[in-house]
Each structure stands twice: as C-alpha cells, then as structure tokens.
Structure 1
Amino acid sequence: MSIIDLELQVADNAENLPQEKQFLAWAQLAVSKVMASGAQPASLTIRIVSSEESQELNHQYRGKARPTNVLSFPFEIPQGLPQDLLPEEHILGDLAVCADVVANEAREQQKDLHDHWAHMVVHGCLHLLGYDHIKDEEAEVMESLEAEILAELGIGNPYVIED
C-alpha cells in the first residue's frame, strides 16, 4: 500500500523523463525512511519545470537569478484554519524539478540520468520533511540519509567523487 498520493505535473517538454511510477517509488522510499512505520498517508506534488520557470522560482523564493535542480516548498497549514477543515492526509508540499538542470548535471558529473533524477526526488523529499544542508552538521546527516536511501535503490553515493 502506498502512503504517498503523488500528483505529477509536467510543465516542460523534456525528454527522457522517468515514468510516474518511478517518481512515486523514490518519494515513497524517502518518506517511509523518515516517517514512523505507522505513517499516515501523505500527498506530494512534483512539478517538472523549464529552466525559465526554475529561474523565476529560484529568484522569487531564494534570491538567486539562475535555474536550479530542485526546489522544495513544504506545505504550511494556514493560521486560524478551523479543525474541521484540516486535511485528512498529511500534505508534504511541492517539489519543482528542472529537467534541463538535472540532465546537465548528470552529464557534467558523469552520472546516470535515471540515478540523478532519483537523487533529486529523494533530496527534495527530505527537504519537505525538515532536513537541510546549510550547516555542515545538518549536511552530514542529510547526505548520509540520502546515500542510505539511494543505496536501497541500487544507486551509489552521489557525494563520493570517483577518480
């Protein structure tokens, strides 16, 4: 049984995108690794965006005027929302993943494109679940968890640079 209700939005005509079932499997694994075993259902939106949309979002929300691989927007319950209007399932939030940046990074870093997509989804989901990598200590925890999740998918540690 899936604990993730995934909405996949493809707003860019990118080639070689993973199938929706792959996005779901990656998100499912990341969320199930972090949330308790009796986790309630959760919803997540993954939007595949163009470089232009990624740059616009990155500028608006992070003050950076360039596209980026993945942006995470955790859901926040509006203040003052009556209890009876609270959603039944946990809403994780939204990921905006730029297909062009993911493809370019995979090529530049000599990584398998499918593996890099998996990494970006796992990375974004961990951000939605409260993980960050601004401080070195936080980065170590987050990167270790990412590597553990990706290993379960048969994907090598993306933070190890091989010569």
Structure 2
Amino acid sequence: MSVDCLVEDKRWGDIDALAQVAIDTAFERLGIEPSAFEVSVLACNDARIAVLNEDFRGKPQPTNVLSWPSQERAAAMDGEMPLPPQPGADTELGDIAIAYDTCAREAEAAGKTMRDHTIHLLVHGTLHLLGFDHERDRDATLMEGLETEILGKLGLADPYREEPGQ
C-alpha cells in the first residue's frame, strides 16, 4: 500500500507509520492486495478540518475524520459487502483527513491512547474509501463489525463496546 501522508500539524509526529499499519491491516482483512493501491492522508488540526467539513458536507464544525473515495463503491443493498477495488482500474482509492485536536479530545474522553484512537479513525476512514458506510442500519452493523475485527488483529479493544462505568 502506498500511503502518502501530508502532515500539516506537527503534533501528529509519526502518523505515517500508524496510517500504514491501519490501512494495510484493513486491506488484508478484506482480502485486498494492498500493494496495488494508493491512499492519501492529511494530518491536520480542527481549524483545517472544520473548513473541509463545511466545504464538503455543509457542516461548519470540526470532526474527527473525513474520507473522500475516488469513486462510489457502496453496496446497493443495506448490509451487503461493497465490491472491492480492482488493481489497475482504480489504484488511487481516495483521501482521508484526520484532525489532531478532536482525536485527542475523543481519546482522552474514552480513556484511550492517542495511538489507539488514531488507528481506529484511520481504519474507519479506510473502510469509507472502500465503500463501507454507517448511514443504513445493516451497513453500520457490517462496518462496525469489520472495524472491531481489524482493530482486534492489531490488539486493540472494540471501540463500540461500552466499558463498565461509562
């Protein structure tokens, strides 16, 4: 997998390595050969992602992660697997933007490390590039199940399971 990271906010440190691991693991779980594809990641702050969120979604506030697939890959039926990208046909899968400030706040609120939460958001963004979504109920169940499984392969806890006391 070719991951091209543009780091606009230096607080991200070595996000390149985290992005590579998260994206490769998602591809491997889905049986897609990662070496045939490219993903771009913008590691930014809340101010930058708020502008992007307003420009592309009409929501003038920061968010944790945004994804722009290079083409529509969603399944027609709620809960079905999207068709995988084809090597050679659509090698550039799209772009992911991730906001440091929101990610840090969410990680702290959830009692997670920044590293673990960042990996989760990068896996989430990658699944969006591959046609997964959470707008319809069965699609959300499928996507969340895949996220949990992929994160488990990386030794990370299920991000959707409520911990006692939360």
TM-score normalised per structure 2: 0.83
Q: Over aligned residues, Cα RMSD in angstroms?
A: 1.9
Unaligned runs of 5+ in 2: 73-87
CA distance in 2, matches of 1:88, 1:74: 14
CA distance in 2, matches of 1:128, 1:28: 13
Q: Quick one: which of 6, 11, 14 aligns to 1:9?
A: 6
CA distance in 1, matches of 2:10, 2:35: 34
Q: Encode CA deviations 1:70-106: one digit per residue, 9 max, x unaligned.
A: 00011149xxxxxxxxx77611110000011100100
Residue 28 (structure 2) pairs with residue 27 (structure 1): no
Aligned to 1:62: 57
CA distance in 1, matches of 2:34, 2:62: 34
CA distance in 1, matches of 2:101, 2:143: 24
Match of 1:65, SS state, is coil
Q: Quick one: which of 27, 49, 55 aligns to 2:44?
A: 49
AA partner of residue 4 (structure 2): E
Q: Structure 1 vs Structure 2: percent identity of aligned residues?
A: 34
CA distance in 2, matches of 1:159, 1:153: 16
CA distance in 2, matches of 1:19, 1:46: 9
Unaligned runs of 5+ in 1: 78-86
Equivalent pairs, count: 149
CA distance in 2, matches of 1:18, 1:161: 29
Q: Encode CA deviations 1:93-122: one digit per residue, 9 max, x unaligned.
A: 100000111001001111121110110000
AA partner of residue 55 (structure 1): A
In the TM superposition, structure 1's runs of 4+ consecutive aligned residues that sit over 3 Å from their partners are: none
CA distance in 1, matches of 2:152, 2:30: 15
Aligned to 1:98: 99
User: What is the Cα deviation at residue 22 of structure 1?
Assistant: 2.3
Residue 106 (structure 2) pairs with residue 110 (structure 1): no
Structure of larger gyration radius: 1
TM-score normalised per structure 1: 0.84
